[in-house]
Structure 1
Amino acid sequence: MEVQVQRHSIKVLARSQFQPEQSAPVEGRYAFSYTITIENDGSEPARLLDRHWIITDADGKVQEVRGEGVVGEQPHLKPGERFRYSSGTILPTPVGCMHGSYGMVGDDGTRFDAEIPAFSLASLARLH
């Protein structure tokens, strides 16, 4: 049996954490950090060019963020390689969520988007 690997396949995993020391709930400021792992599961190398985030707070307010690369880098991932980085965001509410996509380009010139699955941002103190 032959298994065919997709040429361009990027897997994105996210983990978030509330940052109480950087938050000021009385002022409507809830800080969250997140760690993203981007893994090339495909058979061709690819470079991350840009990012598009959609951040939604508990009141339904949506903020979109677009920019080049991630944390000042445009990582090039060979098949099987992964890139991990951490960043953060501030919300006016104790809960919210994020999702989006990374604009990628394969070494063959093919442009494609790698989906960033939705993940929650939650202040545990407010959930109990």
Structure 2
Amino acid sequence: MLDIDRRSALAIGFAGLSGLVLPEQAAAQTYGPNEGKELTQGVRQIDLGERESLIPAYKKVHLRDIVLQPGAKTPDNAMMNDMLCHMTEGELAVVQNDKQFTVKKGDVWTCAKGITTEGTQNKGNAVAIMRIIDLLTT
């Protein structure tokens, strides 16, 4: 019986240890230099999925990643739809309606159709990935 208890303790220990290792496996996906479509030099868009929405104000939701190489930037753009943004990797300098702020890994922010103008720049030395959930009315 003592051997079974030792084995059980060892198994439980490994199971607990795997809990410490698994979060690393859930890290943001990385992309090759030619994946998705190029929006501008050093900026690529990878479309991840689209589905009909259960939120009455929106017909569909669309998920995409914007990958910015170090030094790359997006021009100021008027937002064509409401959206939620999340930094999955790196950090970006953001100018939104003349307000400047920096978003880092894990930060979230929003943009509103017809209200928000936004431009971004990766001023860091690592790739930055901005995940966007587009909330679409059409």
TM-score (norm 2): 0.34
**Structure exhibiting the larger radius of gyration computed from Cα positions:** 2
- Structure (1 or 2) with the greater strand fraction: 1
- Structure (1 or 2) with the greater helix fraction: 2
Larger relative contact order, structure 1 or 2 (CA cutoff 8 Å, min sep 6): 1
